Amino acid sequence: MKICTICNLEKTIDQFPNLVRSPDGKYPQCKLCKSNIDKQYYKRKAEKVKSNANKYYKSKKDIILNKRKNNDHYKIYNKQYKQLHKEQLKEYNRTYKQQYKPIRNEKRRNRLKKDQI
Ligand SMILES: [Zn+2]
């Protein structure tokens, strides 16, 4: 017979779970109390895991929100840049088109040839 350290009831040795490293080879708690302890432990663990996941999500959320904010900043900057350099951009686009017009035409011609074949 053995007394459980949790419920203080005297129970037969077969009502205690096995524990190799203990002197009598049994847990100090009975099977019933041990299972309750385990349940509580896993419950606590689950809550910890949940809270960790929550923390991770929150930190990730911050990053996402930050990114979005930065993106907005970038958009505003782009808009401002376009407005400030309207003429320059127009000029750039014109020269770009002129520069690549022959190449584009060449490509188009080649494509047309391919289509004919
Ligand atoms: Zn017990």
Which residues span the domain enclosing 59? 2-84
Model pLDDT, residue 117: 63
CA distance 65 to 71: 10
Model pLDDT, residue 67: 79
Amino acid at the residue 31: K
Chain-wide mean pLDDT for the chain?
89
Please tell me whether residues 23 and 63 are part of one structural domain. yes
* DSSP letter assigned to residue 11: E
- As separate numbers, helices (DSSP H) first and strands (DSSP E) second, the chain gives 2, 2
8 A C-beta contact, residue 48 and residue 56? no
Q: How many Å lie between the centroid of ligand 1 and the Cα of residue 46?
A: 24
Strands (E), 1-117: 2-3, 10-11
Total domains present in the chain: 2
Q: How many Å lie between the centroid of ligand 1 and the Cα of residue 49?
A: 28
* DSSP letter assigned to residue 18: B
List of the chain residues with pLDDT < 50: none
Please tell me whether residues 17 and 70 are part of one structural domain. yes
